[in-house]
Amino acid sequence: MDLNDGAIGYLLSRAYFLHKKKATQLLEAFGITPEQYGILHQLNKQEGITQKALAELHGKDQTSIGKTLERLENKKLVIRKTDQVDRRAILLYLSSEGKALYEETFPVMQGLNGDLVDRITPEGNDQLTALLRKLNQALNS
- pLDDT 10s digits, 99-136: 999 999 999 999 998 888 888 888 998 999 999 999 98
CATH of 3-140, one of 3.30.460.10, 2.40.30.60, 3.40.50.2000, 1.10.10.10: 1.10.10.10
β-sheet bridge partners, residue 91: 50, 81
Q: E strand or H helix at 132, and its extent?
A: helix 122-140
Instruction: Please give the pLDDT value at position 5.
Output: 63
What does the pLDDT average to over 17-35?
Answer: 97
- Listed in sequence order, the DSSP H helices in 29-121 are 34-45, 51-58, 62-74, 96-117
- pTM value? 0.86
Q: E strand or H helix at 79, and its extent?
A: strand 78-82
Instruction: Please give the pLDDT value at position 140.
Output: 83
Q: E strand or H helix at 125, and its extent?
A: helix 122-140
Structural contact between residues 91 and 82, judged by C-beta atoms closer than 8 angstroms: yes
Query: Which tens digit of pLDDT belongs to each residue from 39-56?
Result: 999 999 999 999 999 999
Other residues' Cβ atoms within 10 Å of the Cβ of residue 109: 18
Which amino acid does the sequence have at 18?
L
Query: Which tens digit of pLDDT belongs to each residue from 56-107?
Result: 999 899 899 999 999 999 999 999 999 898 888 899 999 999 999 999 999 9
Chain mean pLDDT for the chain: 92
Judged against a pLDDT cut of 60, whether residue 3 lies above it is answered with no
